[in-house]
Amino acid sequence: MTSASPAASSDAGFSQLPLSPATLANLEQLGYLRMTPIQAACLPPALLGKDLIAQAQTGSGKTAAFALALLANLNPRRFAVQTLVLCPTRELADQVTTEIRRLARAEDNIKVVTLCGGVPLRGQLATLEHGAHIVVGTPGRIMDHLERGSLQLDALNTLVLDEADRMLDMGFFDDIVKVAKQCPKERQTLLFSATYPEGIAKLAAQFMRDPQTIAVQAQHSSAQIEQRWYEVSDKERLHVVGQLLLHFRPASTIAFCNTKAQCRDLVAVLQAQGFSALALFGELEQRERDQVLVRFANRSCSVLVATDVAARGLDIASLAAVINVDVTPDPEVHIHRIGRTGRAGESGLALNLVSMDEMGYVGRIEQLQKRESEWHPVSELVPASAEPLQPPMATLHIQGGRKEKIRPGDVLGALTADLGYTREQVGKINVNEWSTYVAVDRAIAQQVASRLATTKVKGKSVKVRVLED
């Protein structure tokens, strides 16, 4: 766990919850004096045994929100796995284990075990033989243990899915479903996710009981997002977007346009200037949309040019900058657009281009935000470097996906164990039904693609190409 304190606390203390005196004393010792908003919203229903779908980000105190509930369900005298927490990565699983152990200190001898891939099985098998109350792990490795019979879930009473959106992103949908099927039906299921892509509802429908949805008002405090306004003529507008990108060099940006036509024009201008930019608008086929989103989220494209409708429900954690290429006539939409930057305690940048005839819209936005706009002259934009910032990764497209039973681990294995690349050279791996997308270090993308095409993934030769603009 990081030592950073959560973004905000609510007014509520823990003592109003039905927790044991020992747990309350432990919380006080840990310095947890007030509940964070997500804890205040989740803990009362969770302690009543309800299933929850909660929207929460790292740093919100979400781990304690589910950990206190699962600990309340636990019988330390029963030596059997009573809780399983599924996490997308080993790093998160380690963090969750540490936090559960801290919170479990009030009780004697609660055993928490972490089971993740990339670690030899043998040690894990020995640990499991000694018994555990709580297991925290990644879906692939948990499946391995279930298949071997080294992990039994018949005494389980709480199943937690942490960062469910990230697990779906990594292609773990099927594994999660299989694991859930092996848990007793009589149980509590707690699902935490920063965003709600479609798959979340599918998971919930398959194995949750009348889940309560918890969303804590996104507090994008104005202090976290710096907004700058520039007056432009319609003729220079698209060109100024490039100037903003060269001046501020944000690592990831969404540029919002009011129309599809504007999106198309802007992408053409930016690509011609050497920016790595892709457009997202309503008419794209599902497959094209998926590709654009995967490439933006895995850091192989740095500018996403989008309409509001197309960007709805976009599942992207935090952006370095938002550019409003056109001012939106709806002030609520403006707030929504800029709220995509400056999340999770990071600072954000919102850059707005305004022509004379859009000034009226700016007035409405000022009223809603209750603050005046900070105007800057376009002449202030000096390129920090003449070269557009290139994204760190590039995306390889592999023909074949879930239908061919490809899993992220198979691709990672082919790249690291077989071809000798390091874990750091490989980024996000997305397995869809028919395709697999792998982010790799941009500098070696072509080489990785040709070498991968000569080796085997899941025992089969694969067709691979680098996705270019």
Among positions 17, 23, 26, 32, the unique one binding ligand AMP when judged by CB under 6 A: 32
Among positions 6, 88, 171, 199, the unique one binding ligand AMP when judged by CB under 6 A: 6
Binding flag, residue 275, ligand AMP (CB under 6 A): no
DSSP symbols for 134-180: EEEE-HHHHHHHHHHTS---TT--EEEESSHHHHHHTT-HHHHHHHH
Tell me, by CB under 6 A, how many residues bind ligand AMP: 17
Where does residue 391 rank: exposed (0-12), middle (13-18), buried (19+ CB within 10 A)? buried
Binding flag, residue 64, ligand AMP (CB under 6 A): yes
What 8-state DSSP symbol labels residue 463?
Answer: -
Which span sits near ligand AMP by CB under 6 A: 31-39, 41-49, 362-370, 411-419?
31-39
Structure tokens at 178: 């299989």
Binding flag, residue 238, ligand AMP (CB under 6 A): no
Which span sits near ligand AMP by CB under 6 A: 62-70, 71-79, 342-350, 436-444?
62-70
Among positions 1, 25, 261, 444, the unique one binding ligand AMP when judged by CB under 6 A: 1
Our CB check for ligand AMP shows the closer of 105 and 364 to be: 105
Structure tokens at 36: 């964070």
Q: Tokens 């892509």 — which residue? A: 197
Binding flag, residue 59, ligand AMP (CB under 6 A): yes
Our CB check for ligand AMP shows the closer of 59 and 339 to be: 59
Binding flag, residue 11, ligand AMP (CB under 6 A): no
Binding flag, residue 219, ligand AMP (CB under 6 A): no
81 Cβ neighbours under 8 A, 6+ residues apart:
132, 133, 134, 135, 151, 152, 153, 155, 156
Structure tokens at 449: 């693609």
Our CB check for ligand AMP shows the closer of 65 and 266 to be: 65
Interface of this chain with ligand AMP, residues 98 to 117, rule: CB under 6 A = 99
- The total of other beta-carbon atoms located within 10 Å of residue 134's CB is 25
The site string for ligand AMP over 70-99 (x = CB under 6 A, - otherwise) reads: -----------------------------x
Binding flag, residue 36, ligand AMP (CB under 6 A): yes
Rounded Cα distance between 331 and 199, Å, is 30
Our CB check for ligand AMP shows the closer of 126 and 218 to be: 218
Among positions 17, 19, 35, 106, the unique one binding ligand AMP when judged by CB under 6 A: 35
Q: Tokens 């690349």 — which residue? A: 421
Rounded Cα distance between 23 and 250, Å, is 44
Binding positions for ligand AMP, rule: CB under 6 A: 1-2, 5-6, 31-32, 35-36, 39, 58-64, 99
